C-alpha cells in the first residue's frame, strides 16, 4: 500500500509481524524538498515496546542457538535482497530524507556490502586456547551478549540502522531498534529484506515513537543487555548515563566537528575540490563531514577561490530530479541552526564568499556557504554545523593548526592535505580523532573501524572490531578429572 506520493504505509515490525501499534497513534512524515506531508509513522506505546522486548528475549534464545553457517546464510540472503531493491529503497530514502537519488541508492548498495562483511565476520568471532597446567584446559570464548536496544538518526536512513542490525545479528544477538520517525519507511524496507530472507521471528524488531519515552523504556528493561546509539553528543551522554545507572554497556557514535588541515606544500586547488565533494555530500548532514578548514596562509586564497568555485557549481534541488547534487536539509530545525550560525559568524566579522541564505523556494534548502575571516569566538568554530557551512581559517605554522584542530572536545574525524610523507605522519600522530583521512575526505568503509574519541563517543563500528561490543568474552578453566 502506498500514498499518492508513492510513499509506503509505514508499519512497525514486532515478533515477526507488521503492526501499526496498540493505539494507532501516529506522527506526520514530511518531504523536505516540498514541505508536504507524504505519510505518517506509528508511535509505539509501552505495551508495544514490551511486546518487542519479549520477542527479542525469545528471539535471542533461538538465534544464539542457530548454527553460525545458517546465520551467515540468512544474512547473505538479506544482503542480496537489499542490493536487488536498492533503487526502490533509495527512492523512499530521498522522499523522506532529501539527499540526491544517486546518494540514496549508493547508500543502499553499500549497506548490502556492509552486511556481507559482517555476515562473514560471524565465522571469525574466534576464541583461543591458552597454554596452562597439565590436566587443565584454559580457553577464552566469545559469546553473544544478548538483546540489544539500538537508536539511529535520520541522516543515513539505510546505512545507519543497518550498522547496528548487521553487527548485532552477526554476533548472534537479537535487537529492538528505534529508527528515526523522520525516515521510517526506509528503515521499514531495510527490515523487510531481513524478514524476507528468513530471519526467525523476534530476532529483529523495529519500533518508532517519542524518543525520550522509547529510550527510557528500552534501556530500563532487564531484557536489554546493550545500548547502541548514533546521534548528537548531548543525547548520547544522556543515554550513556542512563545505561550506566543500570550497569549496561553502551556503544556511542556521536557528533564531531572535523578539522581539515591544508599544509603549505599541498596543491590547494586539488585539496579544495576533494574537500568540497565531501562537504556538500548529504548537504553537510554527516557526522564526519569536513567542517573547519584550516589552510596555510600561503595557499589560503587560492584554496578559497577553488572552494567557492566548487560550491557555486553545485546544483541544489529536489533529490529526485536528475542533475541535483545537493538536496534540502532534513527539517526546519536544521535550516534554523545553519541560519543562526551564519548570522552569528557575520555579526562577529566573518565574510560570506558565497551562499549564506535559505533559497527562496518551497523546501528546506540552504545554499552551499563559504565564509572567511571567521573569528575563533564565532559559534561556527565550536559548534558542529551539520549543514552546508564551510569556514576557511588561515594558519601560519602546523603547530598552530594542530592546536586549533585539537582544541574542541570532539574527536570523530579529521583530514589533512600534504605532499610530505613526514608531515603526513605528524598529522596521523598528532590529530585527536578516531578517523583520519590524508589527501582525501573519504567516508566510512565496512572493512575498517569507525568511531570517535573524547566527546565523540566510544566503541567502533566496521571492520573486525564491529562485533566487539556485541560479544561477551568468557574465560573457561577446565580441570580434567580422570
Per the DSSP assignment, residues forming a β-bridge with 326 are 316
What number of residues does the chain have?
482
Helix axes 300-312, 268-279, angle to 10 degrees: 40
Task: Please say whether the beta carbons of 117 and 124 come within 8 A.
Answer: no
Residues 6+ apart with CB under 8 A from 367: 316, 354, 355, 356, 357, 358, 359, 388
- Say if strands 258-262 and 389-395 run parallel, antiparallel, or are unpaired: unpaired
Residues 6+ apart with CB under 8 A from 406: 430, 431, 432
> Distances in Å between the alpha carbon of 253 and those of 143, 150, 223, 230?
23, 11, 23, 5
CA dihedral (221, 226, 231, 234) positive or negative: positive
* CA 221 to centroid of chain Cα atoms: 25
Residues 6+ apart with CB under 8 A from 41: 10, 26, 27, 28, 29, 181, 184, 208
Per the rule left: phi > 0, alpha: psi between -120 and 50, beta: everything else, 373 is left
Closest CA to 447 of 117, 26, 69: 117
CA dihedral (260, 266, 268, 272) positive or negative: negative
Grid coordinates representing 26?
501516529
> Distances in Å between the alpha carbon of 14 and those of 18, 51, 63, 170, 173?
7, 7, 16, 20, 16
- Say if strands 250-253 and 26-31 run parallel, antiparallel, or are unpaired: unpaired
**CA geometry: angle 330, 336, 337, nearest 5 deg:** 85
Q: State the catalytic residues.
A: 253, 287
Q: CB-based burial of residue 171 (10 Å sphere; 0-12 exposed, 13-18 middle, 19+ buried)?
A: buried
Amino acid at each position: 500500500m502506498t500514498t499518492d506520493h508513492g510513499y509506503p504505509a509505514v508499519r512497525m515490525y514486532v515478533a515477526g509481524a507488521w503492526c501499526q501499534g496498540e493505539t494507532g497513534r501516529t506522527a506526520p512524515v514530511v518531504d523536505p524538498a516540498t514541505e508536504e506531508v507524504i505519510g505518517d509513522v506509528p508511535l509505539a506505546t509501552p505495551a508495544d515496546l514490551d511486546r518487542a522486548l519479549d520477542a527479542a528475549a525469545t528471539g535471542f534464545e533461538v538465534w544464539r542457538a542457530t548454527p553460525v553457517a545458517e546465520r551467515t546464510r540468512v544474512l547473505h540472503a538479506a544482503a542480496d535482497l537489499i542490493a536487488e531493491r536498492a533503487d526502490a529503497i533509495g527512492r523512499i530514502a530521498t522522499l523522506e530524507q532529501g539527499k540526491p537519488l544517486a546518494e540514496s541508492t549508493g547508500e543502499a548498495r553499500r549497506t548490502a556490502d556492509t552486511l556481507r562483511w559482517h555476515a562473514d565476520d560471524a565465522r571469525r568471532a574466534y576464541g583461543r586456547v591458552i597454554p596452562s597446567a597439565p590436566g587443565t584446559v584454559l580457553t577464552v570464548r566469545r559469546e553473544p551478549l544478548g538483546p540489544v536496544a539500538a537508536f539511529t538518526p535520520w541522516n543515513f536512513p539505510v546505512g545507519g540502522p543497518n550498522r547496528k542490525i548487521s553487527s548485532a545479528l552477526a554476533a548472534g544477538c537479537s535487537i529492538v531498534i528505534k529508527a528515526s520517525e523522520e525516515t521510517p519507511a526506509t528503515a521499514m524496507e531495510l527490515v523487510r529484506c531481513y524478514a524476507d530472507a528468513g530471519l526467525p521471528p523476534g530476532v529483529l524488531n523495529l519500533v518508532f515513537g517519542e524518543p525520550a519515552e522509547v529510550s527510557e523504556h528500552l534501556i530500563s528493561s532487564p531484557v536489554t543487555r546493550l545500548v547502541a546509539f548514533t546521534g548528537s553528543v548531548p543525547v548520547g551522554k544522556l543515554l550513556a548515563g542512563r545505561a550506566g545507572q543500570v550497569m549496561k554497556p553502551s556503544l556511542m557514535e556521536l557528533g564531531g566537528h572535523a578539522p581539515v588541515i591544508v599544509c603549505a606544500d599541498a596543491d590547494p586547488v586539488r585539496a579544495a575540490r576533494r574537500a568540497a565533494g565531501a562537504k556538500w555530500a548529504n548537504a553537510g548532514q554527516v557526522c564526519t563531514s569536513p567542517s573547519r578548514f584550516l589552510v596555510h596562509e600561503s595557499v589560503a586564497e587560492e584554496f578559497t577561490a577553488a572552494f567557492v568555485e566548487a560550491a557555486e557549481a553545485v546544483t541544489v534541488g529536489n533529490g529526485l530530479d536528475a542533475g541535483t547534487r545537493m538536496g534540502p536539509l532534513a527539517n526546519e530545525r536544521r535550516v534554523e541552526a545553519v541560519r543562526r550560525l551564519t548570522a552569528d559568524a557575520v555579526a562577529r566579522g566573518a565574510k560570506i564568499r558565497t551562499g549564506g541564505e535559505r533559497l527562496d523556494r518551497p523546501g528546506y534548502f540552504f545554499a552551499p556557504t563559504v565564509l572567511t575571516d571567521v573569528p575563533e569566538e564565532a559559534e561556527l568554530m565550536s559548534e558542529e554545523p551539520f549543514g552546508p557551512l564551510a569556514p576557511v581559517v588561515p594558519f601560519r605554522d602546523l603547530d598552530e593548526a594542530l592546536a586549533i584542530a585539537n582544541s574542541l572536545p570532539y574527536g570523530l574525524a579529521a583530514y589533512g592535505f600534504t605532499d610530505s610523507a613526514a608531515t603526513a605522519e605528524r598529522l596521523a600522530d598528532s590529530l585527536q580523532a578516531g578517523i583520519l583521512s590524508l589527501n582525501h575526505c573519504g567516508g566510512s568503509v565496512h572493512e575498517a573501524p569507525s568511531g570517535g574519541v573524547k566527546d565523540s563517543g566510544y566503541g567502533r563500528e566496521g571492520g573486525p572490531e564491529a562485533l566487539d561490543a556485541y560479544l561477551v568474552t568468557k574465560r573457561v578453566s577446565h580441570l580434567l578429572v580422570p
